[in-house]
Every structure is written in structure tokens, then in C-alpha cells.
Structure 1
Amino acid sequence: MPAPTHPRPHSETLANGLRVTLRHVPGLKRSAAALRVAAGSHDVPLAWPGLAHFLEHLLFLGTERFPTDEGLMAYVQRHGGQVNASTRERTTDFFFELPVSSFSAGLERLSDMLARPRMNLDDQLREREVLQAEFVAWSQDPTAQQQFALYEGLPAEHPLRGFHAGNRDSLQVESPGFQSALKDFHQRFYRTGQMTLSLVGPQSIDELRELAQQFAAVLPVGDKVAQAAPPPLAVKSYQQVGAHTNLLFAFDALSESSAEAMAFLCHWLNSAKPGGLLAYLHQQNLADSLKATPLYQFAGQALLHLQFHADGEQLDAIHERLLDWLSFFARQDWKPLREEYAALLQRQQQVSGALQLARLDIEQQAFGLSESGATALEHILREIGVVDNFSDHWHLPAANPFLRASEPLANAGLIRGQTSAHRGLRTFAQDRSRSRRERSPMHFSQALPDNSDEGAIYLRWQVEAAASADLRARLQRSLRQTRQDASEAGVDLSFSATGNQWLLKMGGLQEPMPSVLEHALKCLTMIDADSPRDEVQIPSMPIRQLLEALPEKSLPTIGTSEDANQLWTTSRWDGLALGLNQQTQSALGLALSRIPGTPDNQLAVTPIAQAQYHWSRINTASSEHALLLVCPTASRDIADEAAWRLLAQVCQTPFYQRLRVELQLGYAVFSALRQLHGRTAIVFGAQSPTTSAAELLEHIQEFLKNIPALIETLDDASLKQQRQGLADQFDDATLSTKDAAELLWQGKLAGHSSDYREQLVAAIQQLNRQALLDAAQRLINAESGWHCLANESMPDAPWPATN
């Protein structure tokens, strides 16, 4: 197992009272900050529900020093970073990630917006409409409403039962009382004693401390104020039946270590391995899925939620088996489970980026289950009501096979229709040593260095027909346990069957990858043995459903089949491996020999369809209106892609400003560049509670018409800055292994050579104003066609409906 590369963070309290955690990680290419304010929705005066969430929104609207187009969100987007915020019951978090060279300027903007928000009345009135749109979506979203309903078993006076979303009625911006409460809340909680800052990056601890001190110098100084304790939860447990079957356990007066105890318990409850609770419930036809999670934890209180996909009439039987398993679990020696849990947490940190680590540190996540955590867990189990007697059919889950070196699978043989010709596929090292002229269909690329712990593997199959919906579901189910084990071991594993293209993808720690690949191939080629029933899927918000459907709708489909063995046997495959060292390459030999289908190192590039308009209607089961406009490049030429990327960057903030802030169409508004099966596209998206899809499209088209004028407003220095900022995103010092691998895979799908990234950077740097204006005109004229995905029909020309 690789040695730990991410030591525990350094913690201290600065002279002005700001608590900081600093983590130096030499291998990171980016830096991240996470700031937690100890104040949330439950700390707001009862008269003004939603005030904390409203304030979080207002802080992003710019300051005197950094107006909106120079504020944190615009700055981070311009430099290819990530930024977001979240208001919870008792905390408000702000977090962002940037290249190291841009990080200090991001911190400046974060501290300025926290300390010196403008909060003028016009901004507040506009932003209230955004929250109103969020409220309408929340009130119509089945997932959100079912989550809210989970608290109905609690006492009416507990704040979890209250309304905290905020809307036009509760956010009475014109009221002097509201303005006074808003100002008081900001002054009371947004000060150093109430904040914790986490910084993560390749900088030394001393450098990170200096950045933290500069950040803190701007903030109002103040001691920590006690947040009012909630009334007792006053119940032990209760149950609910709806789209899912739910059991909830409430706790009062828990110790400080209860959070790590709850996390440990939920991890083992969620295990689907034989001998565990879920496996037994499935075997007895009582439930098909189980998800355990702590819904709420504050001041010694906690609410543990267990959600089952099951018949509500079986809830009493499920509850009985749950208590039986918990009684068994309580009497076991937890030492091996604690060791494995600590190992998987360590693996997770090894593959976490700067932002993930910063958020882990702000949560003060433990590195396993400590002795005090074990004591807290014993108390929690007693509170639930475990007993000394339990059934003898339970046993602890088998160890994760990927957390330690393991032998190849002994029984991962050839599938039906496969011949011995599939054996003996050469590794890159063997090809090179023998000076073979033939190219292996699995290309071990040297485009990424092989001196890190991480790597990526892509396996693609071209099949004769698209998998039916049932077959796609069975393929996904077959990988469920392997995917979970791989994730815990630091490997992100996914499989997609999109049209006539199937893709198995892995990224993360390379050491477990050969074993993960063997297990995954075995699962995918033996799906007949997998027979769980489908889970009930609660629809996500409409715009997300459109994004989920986008890859499928971007490929032509020829025929449909339910015969997995026939599709595997007649398929043709190739692949790409990146960043893998010689040891991992050699270890992959056996797994590569077991890939189903015929190896083919010259799979055809997906042809670009003739430019035309397409309208795809997706049923999202929502009254909200949602639309994506997909605008691809006319060719796969790298110069076209470079221009499209710069256009996407120039449009991102103005598009958000126009549709979300100025027109107030809804809260889900975005534009971004996407690569879909090797083709580059700019995607404009919007979701609105009141504006139809056709009207959303009109607003987007109106924005597109104004892009040339937007480009002309950029002076030469600004345009150069935009261009250089985009090029810098592809620099070795900035681009993560995961993002670099995905970029190079998309380049392979587009038919580009191995120096695709270098060619792309060169093309970006050659862009001038006229080239950008020409690209904008091609975009406006839809010279490469447009594809709309919406949850409404659009019969008018020029939009023919497609499936």
C-alpha cells in the first residue's frame, strides 16, 4: 500500500481569533480555501426565515474594491477554477480552488466580500427574485420535499421543523426591521472568532500561514459567540413511508466524538457485501437498497436516517432485522473494521484534490475511529436499543480486495464466444523491448509523466447495436460493489453504454488498477447472474436531467439489443492508458488479455453529422421549464476548438449576469464548454419556474447576437489576459492528472495526435480579436448546427423533433 502523502493538517488560532488549518501537499497543482462561518439558517431571527441564505447570495454581488465582474466568482471562472458556497442549519461555507499563481488574489476577493459587502437595495431586490425562483423549484422538487418531510416526526418547536428556504414573502427587503436584522446578523457572526479558514496547497506551511494572516487582516475582529442551543429532539425513533421507506433515530446529549462514530457506523451499514444487513434484506425480498446517513448534528444532537427501497408494509420486519444486525455489530471486535476504515480514509485523501482536502479539514474529519469515537459508538448503539441476543447468520463484510496487494482473479476466464487469440496482448514495455511495428489497441501514452501515484485507463468498445434500457441497467448493477470497493481504494470507476459506444473508465491511484480492471471485466461479462430489482430513482432537478441525457443524445444509435454476450463477442475495442509506470503496465497484462471483443487499433472516429437543428424532448416530471442549447464546432480542427474555448470563457460570466441577475429568469443558469465523444461544444443552460423553454431559447439567442459587441468591449490588454488565462489552464503546473487524462482521451476520440494538448495551447495563443469575432459569427449563424434538449416540445421550424 502506498505510503501516506497527505499528513494531518497544522492547526492554530491567529492573534485576531481566526482559527486556521494549513495543509502542505507537495504534489498538488492547485490551491484551495474553505471558510466556515459558525452561523446558519437556525441562527436567524424567527421573523426573517431565509436571511442567512440570502446574505450568502448577497456577498457574491461585488464590493467597492471588486465589482461583480472582478469579484470572486468571475475571477475564479476566468482562471478555470471552482467556487461555491453553502448555507446549512448552523454553518455557512465558502470555498474555491485556483491555480497557485492566482490563489492569493482569490483570497483577497473572498476576504473583501465577507468584510465589506455592498448590500445596496437594488441588488437585494434582484437577488430576492433569484431566491424566489429557488423557492418555487424547491417547493416543486420531489426530492427536496421528501427530505423536508423527514423531520415531521420531531417536536414542532425544533428548528428542523421550520421554514428556512427564504422567498419573496419572508425576505422583506423594503422593511427597516429586515435591514436591521440583516446588518446585525452580518456584524454578529461574520467576524474572526466565528470563522475557521482551511488552506491547502503545494505551498509550505509558512507560506500558507502568511496567506492566512493577510486574509485575516481584513476581517472584523470579534470573539466567538455562542449559538443558541436547540430544544431537545425528545424522540428515540420514528418511521415514514413514501417513495422510500425511512427509519430515523434521534439522539440528544451525545459526545463530541459522536460525528466520527456516526460516520463509521453508516459506512458499515451501507455495505452490500454478503453477511451484512443489505445482503440479507435483499435475500429475504425485504429491500433492494439501503442508504444510511446522518441528517443533522449539532450541540450533541444527531438524526440518523436509514432509507430503504422497500414495500412500506415490510417496515416492521426491516426494523426488526436492523436491530438484530446492530446487536450483532455491537458485540464484534471492531479492530479489523477500524483498520480498514482508516486505510480507506487515507486512500481517499491520497487522491483528493486541494478543494476536497480543504473541505475535509474544515469539517475536522477524523482519520478513522478513535478510542473516544469507539466509546461514542457504543453509546449510540445502546441508545438505539441493541440487545445481547442476535441471529447467527450475520458476519462481518469481507475485506476490500483493492486496499492491499492482491493476486489476480483465479476464475476470471474467457467469456462465451471469446477465443485464445485474445490472450497474449502485449504490454507497452514488451512492444518497445521487441521493437514490434504493430500497435496494441491499448495505447500506453507517454503524454503524461509516470512518476506520480496516479493514472488513468480508458477502454472503449464499438458494439453492433445499442444496449436496451434494461441491459444498461443490468450492466450498471453488475459493477455496483466493484465500483464501491474501487472508490474506497482510491480508484474512480465508471461504465457508460452510450449508443453504440461503451466506455469503461478508471482514474486515481494506479497501484490497485490492474486488480480493479480484472474484477470489473468479470462483472460486466457475467451480468446474467445479477438479478437485483431496479431501485426507484427520485428525479433530480430538470436541468440536471437534461445534462445526464446529453451524452446519449449526442450520438447516433443503430439498432437495439438485449443480448449482452452477443454484443460483447462481436464488439471491437481499443483503449488509452496515461501516467502508468512500468510496474503497473506489466501488472495489467493479464487483465488486458481478458478484454472481450476484437482488439482494433484503428477504430473509426465518430463522423460529424451534417449541420442542422435538432430538438430533443426529455420528460423530467417537473413543472419547471428547462433547456440546454448545444452549439458544437463545425469541424474537429484544433483551431476551431481553440476559438470555441475562448468564446466559452468570454461568455461565461456575462451570460450568467444577463439571464440570472438582470432578467431573473431562474437560479439555474450557466454556460460552459463540453467535449462530447471527441467533439467540442458550448452549452448554454437555463431552468425557470415561469419562463417557457421557447422563451428561454429566445433569450439565449438574443445573448448570442450580442457576443460580437461583448468582444469589442474588451480592450487589447483584457483580451490578451483572457487568452493567456485560458492557455495557462493547460499548463503542466496547473492541470490535474484527472483533467489532463480526460482532455487527452477526448483528443484521441477526435482523431488528434499525442501532442494534441501542445497543439491546442499553441492555437489558443494565436487567436486574435478577428478570429474570435469570426468564431462568434459562426456560432450565431449555427453553421455547425444547434441541438436543443428541453422538457417541452418545440414544433416550430427550424426545429424538427428527434428522439
Structure 2
Amino acid sequence: MKTRGLVIEGLNVELVQQADARQAAALIQVGAGSHDEPTRWPGLAHLLEHLLFTGSTGWPDEGRLMPWIQAQGGRVNATTLARHSAFFFEVAPSQLADGLARLQDMIAHPLLDNRAIGQEVAVIEAEYQLLQQHQPSRIEAALLHAADSPPAFRQFHVGSRVHFGDELPALQRALRQFHQRYYVAGNMRLWLQGPQPLDALEALAREFVAALPPGSSRRDIPVPQLSEGTHWQLGGTPAALWRSWLLENSDGVTLWRAFLLDEAPGSLLATLREQELAETLELKILYQADSAIWLALGIDTAHPEAVNGLIDRYLAALIQTNQQQHQHYHQLARSRFVTLSPVEQLRQRALGFAPDENPPALLSLAERLTTAPGTLLRCTPEAVEGSQLTQGFSLALSPWQPSAPETLPSAAFFFYPLDGAVATGRLPEQAVALPHHQPDEAAATLILRPEFWSTFSPEAGDDLARRLRPLFAMLRHQGGHGSWQEVEGVWQLTLQLPPDEEAADRVLSQIVTVMTQPAAHGQPPAPETIAIPALLRQLPGQLAANMNPPCWRAALKGGGAALHSRIARRLSALSLPVNPASPPTRMTSRTGMTHLPHSSTDNALLLFIPLHRAEQLTALRALALIYEPRFFQRYRVEQPVGYVVSSRYLRCADQDGVMFALQSPDYSPLSLLRYCRTFLRSLTETLADADLDAIKTRLLSEQADQPLARLRHENGLAEPDAAQIEALSQADLQQLHRTLIQDRRRWRVLFTGGPVA
């Protein structure tokens, strides 16, 4: 990557050229957040974030950033933090200039009309009600409550209908004043990233700043002052321990995060898992001032005292690490960073988690972590006496006095690289039939997935994921990468093998051994706290024809003939056959409506309309591109139904279809289903207005030579090619659209809340 930093008319600009990137991204950070709001208007910064997307002078309705990005298949979002707000998007490189023009206009010239204000107040009210039961938000509120000053740490900032009131003209004036004060060039920072040369990115940045209001807004960002009582317990939440530190600066934090994210044997996380103390950990920045950073480490555990003692031992071991290990973990952090999408890389840069060019000083940070002021928060599902009203949350929060454990768990922390190699199991004599694509490529990628139209249950998939995690971490230390996760609704093993053939064979031998062991009965997956993600999580099980796969399907891309031979022999040791000669038998999934219980009081509906004829897949993907922005425009902007409004093409458990999702506190599932039907019927006469040439260009740009796509093609499953895309006609779209509406017997509906009929 090549970078360039400069200041243009007071605007701080960071440019990143990533020559091999297929996408480009932009992020504008404004130096104003929830702690900068007038006391009279709590939630004003959050409301303004919403409103900037609702229309601006140049794009008052159609063509504005969010629907335009969605129509291009890009990503767009925003966030409001304590002292910053950020707006970001990702598109194809050729569309970066058009996206920047829209971002510029919405930042500099928002309409902020009363109609949009009223609509977004209702949306924020719904979000506020949802957050009351959102455990991560409640935990963060409890963590921030430990700061006595500034007072903003305990004030309400989400926003609600009660706090905004009914006087829209007064609220509009407050919004405009806040915008005029803080949304000026000298109070912003712009990041641009893409494959374009740095000079081209700089030209875009100069054009962007030309229309921004000039000026600056000086602010004093105070350092948090922690209360005398720094140990708290929060009742009614999943068991966890959160430990925080108030540090003078952020030097070394990104490198420490690389150590914390390691899951290989000897790491903190692996040790917690081996001793059955915890499964996950998270490092987050609670607050950043000009001269301080407030860090928090969260660990899900029912044994907070033991884990706290283990953290102390871990920090003592960290102090003993050497420069070679620092360099190794720094390289891991950089390797992990470059695999992120461009927009996620920019978010990490804005948050301060992007790795530096050279390893920072870790030992001084480790020493500071042992002496810096901080807090402890114990989260427990038990009832806790006491109550605190803070930041709009009513929390069962009270002081906590941790007791020293009688004995601390034994722990032998060690770090990488290690001397010596793990022994490799005997290579089987038999070999499976393994397709080998592009053998001339040096980098080797292996995929292994269940038979088509089948998958594993979430419990079985998560159990195997837990057992494979240490091996994937070992693979990363050897220069490779591995994952076992749901891809298109099906559990899939993906291995990017290291260049060293012996190392690749060694790790594959260990992975095959783990995958042949009987499934353990671990903890069920943690429930999703928001209804729509919970429905999406259960959709593969609702669509898959078989939850007990009869065989595996595998393919290798890249790597030499010798490596291919080893892999084919290793895979023969799996307990299920791999790539049997018999072709997969297409199976149909269940249809109809299913009520799925969920803790949320909202009504949520997930409608999946499957494709019946494989030869219409190209038309389906084109229709989904037409549906997506129009569905959002209809039910999020013109006729607000809820705060989750989404539509897109979806392949799930090898079923191709189009998905519609709605979540609302006000409308019943039956009403939400009617809205979906009404939307589809209303498009029948307007499909001819769609820009078919632009849609074809988009579909062609999404063609990718992935191992999974080749595996599907070899087994007779549909994958659109360039000729099919070019041949697509308006008549094809109209015909499939009518079929999707008329063949309602094939619709699959999942819902939470009240009865659908």
C-alpha cells in the first residue's frame, strides 16, 4: 500500500492506494459527537446522522447517497460516537467520484426538512426502545458510568420522542445550528482508499473540499475522571468480566490487540478455553481524548475473580516477550488488516486500530497496563440490589468487591514463533477424486463443504468451529489462513495453505483428525438479541433439505501436483466420502410460514422467495438489484414501516432466491407480509423503467473465479456466465417477476411476534 497525508483548505486528508483492490472506499469523520450536544437536545448528534441521509440540495430525493449506493451494490453506513461522527461507503473504483459528490452534498448542504425530522424521530424512538434490551449497549452504559466527569458520560445521548419533543421548528433550528458549528472543513478528516494512483485520489479530495463550508471548531476534549469506587456489578446480563484501563496514549495498543486475538495454544484466549473459563474476548476503545485513551477488555466468564488473576499473569508474561515476537505479531496484524474490505480498513484507521508501518513499543504498554488506573465490571444473570439511571438506561448496577480466589488456574503462556515442528500423521495410501483448478498458481486454496442442499445444524457447526480454532491460529502463524463458517448458508472449510508444503500437510493432517472426531455437546450458540439477525441465523436450517450430509464436496485451487496429491490422500481419512462419483440429487426445501420465538417484543418478518427454474438465475439476480433500493425507499423513507428494511438476492443452503426483511414495533407480521406483496405488485408496471444496461454491467463486475463457483459448475448447479448476462432481456425480467408473485405456494416466511394470520 502507498499512503499520503495532507491538509487541503483546513481539511485533514489521508489517501491510501491499494493497487489490487476491487473496491474503493471513502470515510469522512466529523469532530463532533454525542458529548458535544446542547444539554437541551440529548440525541441531537444521532438524529443529525440519520437526517443527513434523507436529502440534500443536490439530491433532495432520488439519487441521494444511500439508495444510490444500494443500487450500485455497495455498502454505506454511519456512526455517532462520543466526540466524533463518521460517514462511510464502498463502491466500485469507477463510482468513487459519483459517491463522493453525493457524500459531499449531504455533509455540506442537508435539507433537514420537518417531514424528514418527524420520520427520523420515530425511527430513533424505535431504536431507543430496542436498545433497552440490547445487552452490549447496557454493558457499555455500565462501563461509562464509572466516570464521574465530565458529566456527559452519564447523560442520555441516544435520543427519543420524549426528549426531542413536538416543537419541530425548534428542533430544526437546533439541528442547523449544530451542523453549522461543527460540519466545517477544519473540523473534519477525510480518508480515501482504492486502486487509483495517489495523485488521482488527491484530485478527488481537492474536488470534495471545494464545496465544504470553511472554518474550524475548537474543542477541549477532557480526560475522564474515574469515580472512587471502580468495581461494579451489573445484574440481568450474560456472565462476563470487563476490565478497563485509562492510559496516557495509545502507543502499542494495536500490537497488543494482535496478541489478544491470537487463538493458538499458549495464548490468553486458548488458555481461557482450555480451562473452561471463557470462550471469547473483546478489546474496545471506550473513549479517546487528545491525551488519553480508555480501553476495555471484555471476557465472557462465570468466574470473574479467576479470570482477573489470569489477566495479571498474562500481562506479566507479555512483559517478557522479545523483539522477534513483536515483529511476528505485527506482521500478523498487517496480514489480517489487508484482508479487510477497503471500507473496513478505513474504519479501523479512523478508530486507531490500523497497524503502523513498524512495530510499536509493546513492553512499555504492558508495563503501563499493570499500573494504570482502571475499573472492573462483573456482569451476572443474577439479581443485583441497587439501581442506577444512566444514559437513558435503568441498570441493576451496584458496587462489587471481588474476592481473591483460593487458587489461581495454572497457566503457561507462550508466544510465537516457536522452535520445532509438530509431528505429521501417516499419509494414507488411498486418495479421493479432487478437482484441481489453476495448478499454475503458487497460492493454494482448499474448500470442503457438505453435499449440496445439505448442511450441519448450528450446534454441530459451532462445535466444530470451536475445535478447529486453535489449528486455524497455528496455520496463521505459519503464513496461511483457515476458516470454518457458514458460506451461503452452508458450513464450509476454507484453507489458504502456506507456501511450505510440509507445513501445509502438517496442519491439514491435524484438521482432518479433528473433523473425524465425534461431535461434542457444547454450549448452544448465543441467541441473537435482534429479531431479524435471529431469523437469518435460522434460515439455513429451514431451507436445507438434509441436516445430516451424506458426503463432502471438495476442490483445490492453485498449488503444485505434489501438494494436490498429499491433500487428496489426507482427505480420504475423513469419515464421510469425498466427491463421490454420483451427482448430487436436487432436493426441495419446505415452504409455508413458521413462527420462531424470540425475546424481542418487535414483530419481524423474513420472506424468502425461491427460484424454481435454474435457467432464470440471471434474471433473478437482476430483479433483486431492482428490488433492493426501491424496497428501502418505499418502506424506510416514503412510508416508514420499521427500522429494519432490507431486500437482496440471497443464496442460502443452495437455494437461490430473493429475500425481504422487515422489523417493526408497530405492525403485525401479517401487515408486514402484506407490505411485501403490495411492493411486488406495484413494480409490475415500472420494471420497464429499470436501466438494464447498468444492471448487466453490475452483474458482469460481480463475476468471480471462486473455487466454490467452479465446484458448483462441475456438479451441474447454475452459475450465470457472461453470455447469459448479455442475453438478458426486459421480457425475462417481467416473466420472472410475475412468477415470483403468482407462485406464493413456494414462499418461505419466518416471523417473530404476533400471529401472521
TM-score, normalised with respect to structure 2:
0.85
CA distance in 2, matches of 1:348, 1:498: 22
How big is the shift at 1:294? 3.5
Residues 171-229 of structure 1: CA deviation (Å, up to 9, x unaligned): 34634443232112111221211111111111111111111111111211223522442
CA distance in 2, matches of 1:742, 1:82: 23
Q: 1:397 aligns with which of 414, 424, 429?
A: 414
| Alpha-carbon distance, 1:743 to partner | 4.7
Of residues 371, 379, 382, the one that matches 2:371 is 382
Partner of 2:436: 444
- Alignment of 1:621 with 2:615, yes or no, is no
Pairing partner for 1:631 from 609, 620, 635: 609
Partner of 2:493: 504
Q: 2:668 aligns with which of 676, 692, 713?
A: 692
The answer on 1:342 being equivalent to 2:342 is no
Q: CA deviation at 1:70?
A: 0.6
Return the match for 1:29 from 22, 26, 43.
Answer: 22
1:680 alignment partner in structure 2 = 656
Offset from partner CA, 1:61-108 (integer Å, 9 cap, x none): 122322332111222222222211111122111111111222211111
Of 50-59 and 777-786, the range deviating more from structure 2:
777-786
Residue 350 of structure 2 corresponds to which residue in structure 1?
362
2:336 aligned counterpart, secondary structure:
helix
**Contact 2:459/2:524, CA 8 A, preserved across alignment:** no
Where do residues 55-204 of structure 1 align in structure 2 (5 Å cutoff)? 55-155=48-148, 158-172=151-165, 174-204=167-197
What residue in structure 2 maps to residue 557 of structure 1? 546
- In structure 2, the CA distance between the partners of 1:709 and 1:466, relative to structure 1 (3 Å rule), is closer
Aligned-pair CA distance for 1:504:
2.0
Residue identity in the other structure for 2:437: S
CA distance in 2, matches of 1:112, 1:268: 42
> CA offset at residue 277 of structure 1?
4.4
Partners of 2:229 and 2:417 in 1: CA distance: 34
Deviates more, 1:575-584 or 1:52-61: 575-584
Query: Cα distance 1:772–1:497, how it changes in 2: closer, same or farther (>3 A)?
Result: closer
Give the secondary structure class of the aligned counterpart of 1:111.
Answer: helix
- Structure 2: give runs of 5+ residues left out of the alignment: 376-406
Please point out which of 463, 467, 471 is paired with 1:474: 463
Amino acid paired to 2:287: Y
Q: Confirm or deny: 8 A CA contact 2:114 2:172 kept in the other structure.
A: no
Tell whether the 8 Å contact from 1:475 to 1:527 is kept in structure 2 after alignment.
no
Question: Which region of structure 1 is more displaced relative to structure 2, 624-633 or 474-483?
Answer: 474-483
The equivalent position to 2:579 in structure 1, one of 600, 605, 609, is 600
CA separation of 1:162 and 1:579: change in aligned 2, threshold 3 A = farther
- Report SS of the residue matched to 1:708: coil
Superposition deviation, residue 601 in structure 1: 4.6
Contact 2:453 2:654 in 1 (8 A): no
Give the corresponding residue for 1:321. 310
Letter in 1 for 2:323: K
Q: Equivalents in 1 of 2:554, 2:242: separation in Å? A: 46
Task: Give the drift of 1:686.
Answer: 0.7
Say which is worse superposed, 170-179 or 642-651, in terms of deviation.
Answer: 170-179
Shift of 1:468: 6.6
**Do the aligned partners of 1:111 and 1:219 also contact (CA within 8 Å) in 2?**
yes
Q: 2:225 aligns with which of 232, 244, 266?
A: 232
CA contact 1:291–1:306 (8 Å) conserved in 2? yes
Q: Is the counterpart of residue 524 in structure 1 residue 515 in structure 2?
A: yes
Q: 1:11: which partner in 2?
A: 5
Percent sequence identity is 26
* Pair 1:709-2:685 in alignment: yes
After superposition, the Cα gap between the structure-2 partners of 1:786 and 1:576, relative to the gap in structure 1 and judged at 3 Å, is same
Paired letter, 1:720: L
Whether the 8 Å CA contact 2:618–2:720 is kept in 1: the answer is no
Is the 2:26–2:346 Cα contact (8 Å) retained in structure 1?
Answer: yes
Q: 1:363 to 1:144 in 2, by over 3 A?
A: closer
Instruction: Tell me what 1:751 maps to.
Output: 717
- Alignment: residue pair count: 721
More moved, 474-483 vs 37-46: 474-483
Q: Does 1:786 align with 2:752?
A: no
Alignment-mate amino acid for residue 10 of structure 1? R
Q: Give the direction of change, closer, same or farther, for the CA distance of 1:583–1:360 in structure 2 (3 Å limit).
A: farther
Shift of 1:334: 3.8
1:410 to 416, 420, 423: 423
CA distance in 2, matches of 1:491, 1:173: 54
The whole-number CA distance in structure 2 between the counterparts of 1:497 and 1:765 is 28
CA offsets 1:343-382 (integer angstroms, 9 cap, x no match): 1022123423322333333345232775556434422322
Q: CA deviation at 1:463?
A: 11
Residues 26 and 496 of structure 1, relative CA distance in 2, 3 Å threshold:
closer
In structure 2, relative to structure 1, the CA distance for the partners of 1:554 and 1:13 (3 Å cut) is: same
Residues 727 and 765 in structure 1, CA contact (< 8 A), matched pair in contact too: no
Equivalent residues of 2:571, 2:578 under 8 A apart: no
Aligned-pair CA distance for 1:28: 1.5
Q: 1:369 and 1:391 mapped to 2: Cα distance?
A: 36
Aligned equivalents of 1:281, 1:506: Cα separation in 2: 25
Distance 1:498 1:83 in 2: 22
1:25–1:587 distance in 2 versus 1, CA, 3 Å: farther
Q: Is the 8 A contact 2:255 2:355 kept in 1?
A: no
Residues 379-431 of structure 1, C-alpha deviation per residue, up to 9 Å, x if partnerless? 23222699xxx999544434268xx9x97x634458xxxxx55x345xxxxxx
Contact 2:447 2:494 in 1 (8 A): yes
Deviations along 1:733-761, whole A, 9 cap, x unmatched?
xx5x6xx5555555556624xxx442xx3
2:62 aligns to what SS in structure 1? helix
The aligned runs of 1:640-659 (5 Å cut-off) are 640-659=616-635
Q: 1:720 to 1:82 in 2, by over 3 A?
A: same
CA distance in 2, matches of 1:747, 1:22: 40
Distance of aligned partners of 1:176 and 1:61 in 2 relative to their CA distance in 1, 3 Å threshold: closer
Structure 2 matches for 1:734-773, cutoff 5 A?
A: 740-741=706-707, 743-745=709-711, 747=713, 751-752=717-718, 756-758=719-721, 761-773=722-734
* Residue 493 in structure 1 maps to residue 483 in structure 2: yes
Cα distance in structure 1, aligned partners of 2:452 and 2:680:
38
